[in-house]
Amino acid sequence: MDSIKLTNVKLSVEEISDLVASPSCGAISLFVGTTRDNFQDKKVVHLEYEAYEPMAEKALKTICRDMREKWQVENIALYHRLGVVPVKEASVVIAVSSPHRAESLLAVQFAIDALKSSVPIWKKEVYDTDTPQWKSNSECAWAS
């Protein structure tokens, strides 16, 4: 089962972990991206995310398909939060269950790399004093 979600609501790691859990699987690997309180010397107040939603959902589905071509995984959840995300809270949760652990560990790593390079979502960092700044992922081909 592939679960994909773009949401303005706070992400629950437990809920997403339970969602991918499967009685036939011995392993769940997860990656949680959280908001850092600093960038270089600037103090980050929060992040603001926006997405090209229908295209982002398609791109997330493509990542699921690619993962399944590469590894034997059972359930996949790719959740990305949109709107304001305060410091320490999760902007992304990736969870994958697999019968054995190697598959889900590798699949999660692949998914986060693929998400950063291919899914049309953008993040603005809002600082305490400096001007807010749109970020760009080094994984994105047209970033530089």
Which partner from the list other proteins, a second copy, none does 109 bind, CB cut-off 5 to 8 Å by kind?
A: a second copy
Measured CA to CA, the distance from residue 45 to residue 47 in angstroms comes to 7
Q: Look up residue 1 and give its two tokens.
A: 């089962």
123 labelled as ligand-binding?
A: yes
To which residue do tokens 């560990």 refer?
A: 105
What binding mask, one character per residue, do residues 99-138 give for a second copy by CB under 8 A, x or -?
x-x---x--xx--x--------------------------
Among 63, 73, 107, 121, binds other proteins (CB under 8 A): 121
Q: How far apart are the first and last CA of the chain?
A: 36
Residue 112: its H or E element: helix 101-118
Position 55 contacts other proteins (CB under 8 A):
yes
Measured CA to CA, the distance from residue 8 to residue 100 in angstroms comes to 33
Position 92 contacts other proteins (CB under 8 A):
yes
Neighbours of 122 (CB within 10 A): 14
Among 19, 25, 49, 95, binds other proteins (CB under 8 A): 49
125 labelled as ligand-binding?
A: yes
Q: List residues near other proteins by CB under 8 A.
A: 33, 49-52, 54-56, 58, 80, 91-92, 112, 115-124, 134-137, 139-144
